[in-house]
Chains A and B, each alone.
Chain A
Amino acid sequence: MFRLAVKSVRHNPKRLVLTAVAVALGVALAAATFTLTNALSGGFTKLFEEIYAGTDVIVEVDPDADPAEEDPFAATESVFTGADVDEVAAVDGVSSAWGGRQVMGSVLAADFEPTNDVMAGGGPPSQLFNWAGDPRVDQATLVEGDGPAADDEIVLDLDSAPNLGYAIGDTVSVATEAGVEEFTLVGLVRFGESNSLQGATLGYMTDARSAAINGDDGYEQISVIVEDGANQDAVAEAIGEILPPDTRAITGEAKAAEQTEAFDEILQYIDIFAIAFALIALFVGAYIIVNTFRIIVTQRTREFGLMRAIGVSGRQLRTMILLEALVVAVASSTIGIVVGYLGALGLSTLVEAFSGDIFGTVTLPLDAVLWGYSLGALVTIVAAIMPAIHASTISPMEALRESATESKKPLRLRNVVGGALTLLGVLAIVVGLYMDIERPYIPVGAGAMILIIGVTLLAAQVLVPLAYGLKATLTRIFRVDGKLAANNIHREPRRSANTAAALMIGVMLLALVATFTESMKSLVTEQFKGNSADFFVFSSQGAIPTGAIEVIEGEDGVAYVTSTGLGTVLLDGGTTNVGVIDPETADLAFDYNNEPDFDQMDGGVFIDPSMVEAGYEVGDELTLEGPEGTATLTVTGRYLNEGDAQVWIDEDTGHELLGDYPLAQSMVVLDDDVDAAEAQDQLLEALAVDYPLVVLQSPGEFEQLANQFIDLLLGIISAMLGAALVIALLGVANTLLLSVTERTREIGLLRAVGVRRRSIRRMIRIESMVMAIFGTILGMILGVGLGAALVRALEDFGFTTITIPWVWLLLYTISAAIAGVLAAVWPARRAAKLDILQAIAFDG
């Protein structure tokens, strides 16, 4: 049986080529992702190992500290004092201990000019630390010059210094939250073995200077070197006993492993994301496989009838078809894995050419091979099951028939099942979106899947009247070519529907994303309507420095600056996001969606819809526990948008609970008679002295910026869906190609009675275009519908209007028509080139 299956594949490989390409494309997407994330993981594992290579034991805040599962505010705190460092140094087996702290700041390039561009500070950040002078602690070795001895001295890594335009002896400017600090470059260091910093700038200054800039002489961690021969684990344990609560001692090795694990977890999400898109691509591919095998079974009806007549059982026939599918799956998965690997290799080389060495060795991971084969085989076999069952029911009498007759089975069963699935899918989506359930994406995702299959089944019924309706129009425009094309579409409604549906899926997702992103843009526009602020303050790197706000406030023409801060507090044992505003000015600058206005806060808190759902209401007393203090406050109002912050407090309470909290957003309001453009120049000039990375965006600029990000999102997702769309077009081409083979005699007859090649080509093209446009329109209806449902479900997050992306829809339709023409190129040429005599004699 297996030999028969292989022979059958080899006997007529052409009709399986496009099927194989479809499977290979989906598999390649998955394989490439696995290869890339694996290489990325390799690169970062090396980085983490180098960071912790020299340090034997690290003393730090325990990330698992009580009472909260994840202690949110301890991570960046300086928890160790100089005395703590001395105590650790005195523990038995400790050779030396060094308190480390990081300075938040950016090393400015030598030719840095302040610009009002939010992206100016983009790219890898600067990593600035206090200098220990011990390579095992610093993880950096001095390769030129001296270490920073005086407080105005700095060393940089050997790649960044020339990149930024600095040589030893130059003055280096560093923008910190406390203003621009100047240093003299006295030496160059190499990080680890090969200075592979993934693009970041590394710098060291003296301990005293770092403490001065941070305004805090505490340390974030203590690096410990043990005495020769001492057991690291034992020392770590000994240190642990004398540590303050909520801190821990961990060996460097264990720390590196922990970091690698955490990073791999992030990469897993990328894998899952990519697998989702690969699955979409393969799901579309499955439609092609179903069609291909269905057509092949029809074409081989007589062959199968003959086999049944000479004693082959139906079960054996079924097995044979599935084996054929398996042969195709294995071959195309192999190609897919290889192509995916090569693609990843090419991409990583390209990326490294631009942004340095961020990948480890690019090898083909076992994951890629396993996932590739299982996805490829699963999809192919599942898709071939129905056609295989159909083949097994062929009667031996079929062998005696004159030609392969198409059985005109009624569509009733298909319609009933399709209708039921469509309803079920819609129901699941509604439940997921509007009912308050946990993990709503499961019913939504499953519902979308069921809906697609349901609509695919129903599409056959829609196509019949549609093809009839189009027949008159097509006949009028294209005369007999159009009539024949319309006939061909409705002759095999199942096949045409499946083909169109493959395209429908891709377009549906595109339309969904477009509807969502366009609605998001409307949301942005909507929000800006309630804005009275003249400028939004941003920092192109890190948080907005408090000093910068003071600079702005000190300028003439500025009425006031109102800022929003963010932090985390504990409420009834759980972590809660908190927003800090100035109740006096917040609502003047921006029309927040709240009840009542913030100026009625009266030292209390406002709560958002998620809090209301959790059972809190106006008048309740909340006890908020922050890192700096605890306060019991009355709920005095509601903030009506979900997703910004769960509770809102005023600035005094903010400082009481959080101490110095990072500013997320600041808005500048000018005096009435001040020209905004002039004021912007004036303020930027004032900021350039100490805060060159702070920029001011007018509402128009900000809105444009927000829209740019939204467009970028749309672009990335569209690109990921590209594979699914290409597969869908291959599907159209494939179906046409197979149906040309099936209609060989008919085409030969048309040619004999005087139809020109050009007309034959045009007939196939019209068929292709109609199917493509039909699939696109179905996809757009579904996509816009789902997108609208999604936007409605997110009403609590501020979505007010559903924007239908007309421009995109028009673009999709035009693209579909063009794609239809392209997909028809090969089939049309095949049809036109058929030799008339052979075609007439063709044993259909």
Chain B
Amino acid sequence: MTTSTTVTIAASMRGGTKDYGSGDAAVRALDGLDVDIAQSEFTAIMGPSGSGKSTLLHTLAGLDRLTAGESWIGETQITGLSEDKITQVRRDKIGFVFQAFNLIPSLSARENITLPLDIAGRDIDPAWFEEIISILGLGDRLTHLPAELSGGQQQRVAVARALVARPELIFADEPSGNLDSRSGAELLGFMRRAVKEFGQTIVMVTHDPTAASYSDRVLFLADGRIVDEMREPTADRVLDRMKQMGH
């Protein structure tokens, strides 16, 4: 394990608290959580169902708002920003890969990939686009509509879309959850390469120890708090740790 002297923080949260519902029915999903996501690192968030891992991802990414506490994307504090400003932050600094339904059905693969740039009105960097496409092996699939792609191909298009705008951060929510093990391994391999080769920062929520083993650092969540973390994980070590947590 190497120790880095200056770690740049890509995103962070202090005292993050999120309640759902109110009164007796209130559920606390995040309970005063502190976290820092280091730049150019592949961070996995794990935890049993209901531990708050999805909520953490959503609030960090500005898709949902904290009940209390603060969070930052890079230097920008997003708690307290207006909806429009947060949308702009998402557009300019964040990429997403969801478990399913990542693509707009009426747009071709190429149009889906360039969607974030189109929205922002930015130009495409052709060299970068070609590089992503060749790494992800999508060259002959660009004119197809999502319905004409396999599940693995669809997820790769989603990763390409997340990468193309060179966002500061990519948030992935169970990206391999719907894929067979081979396609899943392939996809996670691509994501790891993006971190290693391009210095991309990725935060991924998963409950699959094998998926988590592709990351640099695993955060374990329980009851809305970070209870442990693990560097350079392997699938076995993650599984052991999860068993301890009573998973």
* Chain A residues in the interface with B (C-beta under 8 A): 402-403, 405-406, 479-480, 483-484, 487-488, 491, 745-746, 749-759, 836-837, 840, 844
Contact = CB atoms under 8 A, between A and B. Distances in A.
A403 B100 CA distance: 10
Given A836-B63, A837-B58, A479 B92 contact: no
Contacts of A488: 106
**7 smallest A-B Cβ distances: which pairs?**
A754-B91, A487-B106, A480-B118, A754-B90, A491-B106, A756-B87, A745-B101
B1 to A, nearest CB: 35
A483 B119 CA distance: 11
6 contacts: A479-B118, A480-B115, A487-B106, A754-B92, A757-B83, A837-B64
Given A405-B147, A837-B64, A754 B116 contact: yes
A400 to B, nearest CB: 15
Given A753-B95, A754-B92, A756-B88, 16 more contacts: A405-B147, A479-B118, A483-B111, A484-B107, A745-B101, A749-B102, A750-B104, A752-B96, A753-B91, A754-B91, A754-B94, A755-B91, A757-B84, A758-B84, A836-B63, A837-B63
Contacts of B161: 753
B126 interface: no
B104 A402 contact: no
Contacts of B119: 480, 753-755, 759
A753 B95 CA distance: 7
Nearest to A746: B104
B64 A746 contact: no
A597 B87 CA distance: 82
B190 interface: no
Contacts of B83: 757
Contacts of B100: 402
Nearest to A747: B104
Interface string B110-124: 010001101111000
Contacts of A749: 98, 101-104
B105 interface: yes
B118 A757 contact: no
B104 A754 contact: no
B87 A403 contact: no
A836 B59 CA distance: 12
A493 to B, nearest CB: 12
Interface residues of B, number: 31
A484 B107 CA distance: 8
B106 A752 contact: no
B87 A757 contact: yes
Given A487-B107, A746-B104, A840-B98, A752 B120 contact: no
A484 B106 contact: yes
Contact of A753 (B58, B84, B96, B105): B96
A361 to B, nearest CB: 57
Contacts of B96: 752-753
A547 B147 CA distance: 87
A753 B90 contact: yes
Contacts of A837: 58, 63-64
Contacts of B118: 479-480, 483
Contact of A754 (B58, B88, B101, B111): B88
B233 to A, nearest CB: 28
Nearest to A752: B96
Contacts of B101: 403, 745-746, 749, 840, 844
Q: In the complex, which of the residues B88, B100, B103, B119 has the most CB atoms of chain A within 10 Å of its own CB atom?
A: B119
Contacts of A746: 101, 104-105
A402 B178 CA distance: 11
Contacts of A840: 98, 101
Nearest to B58: A837
A487 B115 CA distance: 14
B98 A754 contact: no
Contacts of B64: 836-837
Interface in B137-175: 147, 161
A753 B106 CA distance: 16
Contacts of A405: 147
B87 A751 contact: yes
Contacts of B91: 753-755
Contacts of B95: 753
A754 B102 contact: no
B87 A755 contact: yes
A753 B147 contact: no
A602 B154 CA distance: 93
A484 B103 CA distance: 13
A405 B101 CA distance: 12
